[in-house]
Chains A and B, each alone.
Chain A
Amino acid sequence: MRFMMIMYPGAKGEGAALPDPKAMARMMKYNEELTKAGVVLALDGLQPTAKGARVRFRAGKPTVTDGPFTEAKEIVGGYWMLQVKSKEEAVEWARRCPGADDEMIELRQVFEMSDFTNAPPEVAAAAAAIGEKIGRS
């Protein structure tokens, strides 16, 4: 099964100067361990919200707001996509992340097509159709 680990850097927000090299080294080592264990499928760091945008919806109308965004709690710093045998295994990996104070990782299981194969045929077909439309397998 796949789990997404979403990193929330927390209170320190985006005002921080260049990341502490020791912290970076620890994170690189962690990522190496994930790679050596064959469990990480993908990982990415996200650039500051100043380079991004938000799109909100009301009555079918989208509204675009350019960053930066200041609500520190909501800001996602990066993610990992893991291939693991259980939620417990994913949790174990998250625990081993060299997180700093206030950093939080949220773990979310990824929907996969096999989640739908035991459903009634109509549901499975509908799920497949949705997957097809957004180009997801």
Chain B
Amino acid sequence: MVRDVGLAEEIAQDALVTALERWPESGVPDNPGAWLMTTAKRRAIDELRRGKLLDRKHEEIAREIEWAQTVDMAEQGSAMDDDVGDDLLRLVFTACHPVLSGDARAALTLRVLGGLTTEEIARAFLVPEPTMAQRIVRAKRTLAEARVPFEVPRGAELALRLSSVLEVIYLIFNEGYAATAGDDWMRPTLCEEALRLGRVVAELAPTETEVHGLVALMEIQASRSNARVDPSGAPILLMDQDRARWDQLLIRRGLAALDRAERLGGMRGPYVLQAVIASCHATARTPDATDWPRIAALYDALSEVTPSPVIELNRAVAVSMAFGPAAGLEIVDALGAEPTLASYHLLPSVRGDLLTKLGRFEEACAELERAASLTRNARERALLLDRAAALGCERPATWRS
């Protein structure tokens, strides 16, 4: 399959080395020969794809082998499927191990499970390729040095580590959904990758409500992709979006995933709660039809499950929509001293919006200017400056157009 014998040996050797590193911890797998072959084949396919053997024919061969291999497994019956599924799950948990930083986990997950090239991942995360390559190499080395076992954790550790997996997937999604630096507001590929990973994990761990919750949340957020940016690339806020552009297929999928979570019962976790909030927006035909009191109540529940200043800020917005700007401002003012929000542009942005609604325009101007100075996203800054201009605020010298 790999024409270059030297490369083939290198790849097989690599697989063996991996085995020798892992098996002492995880134990020898039931079918060591198959494991080695699978690993070696996957590496070989990887090498071929990376274009070490640039010939297009090799790509085709690689694909055929991979599918033949999968068909082989399918023909050998569901026991093999379980093995593949288990391996995938082990891979997910290993790549998302907390010994790695969030960035490293995301990069490794995308490389190993997402099938993205290092170059693609680098572009998506706005770092140079050598930096990303190093990040991935270091991540693998860290796992090896920490002797992280290639396994699915059990018991109490499973719940903990699952939240790490979900965190990584959502990090990837958010990276694609809203850039924190640079001028482009969206990098859709990452959203698709995260969604796919989420869906895969949902099938691998179907009894975990939070997995379905995360999938539901991502499907619904992704449903708004085409409504969030205008033709010139400027951002459009949720309440101003043209709902005819919301992807009903994704909304339907999100609601279905949410339904799966709810039917499993148990206490609603943070992803499920956020997904329910998202579903409130998704099912409101017009902005006026939004059930704000329900959303406010959901944020109450969410702030009990995962208290955080950002959630509190979102709760303030919901409360203001349900019960008036003064009620919302009370909550926002209480966050004024919150150190973690000191550089968070949405705090002054929300405060500015509430002050505007209360007719306190001068104070609103100050807040919008502050918000504009805090955001690193050029388009977001433009949006904030537009709002200030609409109020008739005086333009200080520090504003850039």
Contact = CB atoms under 8 A, between A and B. Distances in A.
Nearest to A32: B203
A128 B244 contact: no
A47 interface: no
Given A38-B197, A124-B231, A132 B244 contact: yes
A83 B223 CA distance: 14
Interface stretch (B20-28, B245-253, B286-294, B363-371): B245-253
Given A88-B63, A132-B245, A137-B244, A117 B231 contact: yes
Interface string B160-204: 000000000000000000000000000010001001111110011
A137 B226 contact: yes
B244 A113 contact: no
Interface string B83-95: 0010000000000
A38 B242 contact: no
Contacts of B63: 88, 92
Contact of A38 (B67, B71, B188, B196): B196
A6 interface: no
Interface string A90-112: 00100110000000000000001
Nearest to A96: B67
Interface in B193-217: 195-200, 203-204
Contact of A96 (B71, B192, B227): B71
A39 B192 CA distance: 10
A137 B196 contact: no
A83 B192 contact: yes
Main secondary structure of the interface of B (DSSP, over half): helix
A78 to B, nearest CB: 16
Given A85-B115, A88-B63, A114-B188, A38 B195 contact: yes
B203 A81 contact: no
A62 to B, nearest CB: 25
Contacts of A113: 225-226, 245
B232 interface: yes
B115 A37 contact: no
14 contacts: A33-B74, A35-B199, A36-B204, A41-B249, A81-B249, A83-B196, A95-B67, A96-B70, A113-B226, A113-B245, A114-B188, A117-B231, A137-B226, A137-B245
Interface of A: 29, 33, 35-39, 41-42, 81, 83, 85, 88, 92, 95-96, 112-114, 117, 121, 124-125, 128, 131-132, 135, 137
Interface of B: 63, 67, 70-71, 74, 85, 115, 188, 192, 195-200, 203-204, 223, 225-227, 231-233, 242, 244-250, 253
